[in-house]
Structure formats: structure tokens, C-alpha cells
Amino acid sequence: MIAENRSRNDNLHVAYNPVTGEGCCGQRLPVNSAVAGMVWLPKAMLEGEPTDVLTDELRYKKARIKYDFELLLSGKTQNSK
């Protein structure tokens, strides 16, 4: 039990950046979007949505809400690295 606690405490201090995906769940890929410029998007979003999600602002925002809750909860924006 002590070893498990030590392991969990160590994991609290890993690098975390919800903009680039470092330390987040899932994988992010850099994408140049017509509505948002250069952004790091969840791979699941790119695989699960039609390609026009990158050019239609409303569809883009809805997809970000659906797939990218870590970025939304962090309060950061794609431009605040």
C-alpha cells in the first residue's frame, strides 16, 4: 500500500499541458485549421468527425466540446502555451 501511494504521488508531478496534449489522456496531433489556425487536436476527434469540422466554426466548437474536455476545463486556449 505504501508503494502504491508513493507511485501515485510521483504521478502528480508529471509534466501537463492540455494545449499540446503532454500528460493528457489520449494523443494529440498538430493540425492547421481554417477556423482556429495551428492547433493540437485529439486524435479521436480527427478520426471521429468529418473533415469539414476544420472549416465550419460551429461544427468545430461542438467537436471540441465533445472530444477535448481537458482543454476546456483547464481554462487555457490553444494560443496560451
CA angle 54, 33, 20 (to 5 degrees): 110
Nearest to 43 by CA among 23, 21, 75: 21
Residue 62 in any domain: the answer is yes
Considering the domain boundaries, does residue 44 fall inside one?
yes
In a domain, 81, yes or no: no
pTM: 0.65
| 79 within domain boundaries | no
- Of the candidates 75, 2, 68, the one whose C-alpha atom is nearest the C-alpha of residue 39 is 68
Mark out the alpha helices in 1-81 (DSSP H runs): 2-11, 43-48, 57-67, 69-74
**What is the domain extent for residue 51?**
2-74
Provide the β-strand partners of residue 72: none
The per-residue pLDDT for range 5-30, each reduced to its tens digit, is 888 877 777 777 767 777 777 788 99
Residues 28-73 have pLDDT tens digits of: 899 998 988 888 888 999 999 888 888 999 998 899 888 887 766 6
Amino acid letter, 23: G
Q: Answer yes or no: is 26 within a domain.
A: yes
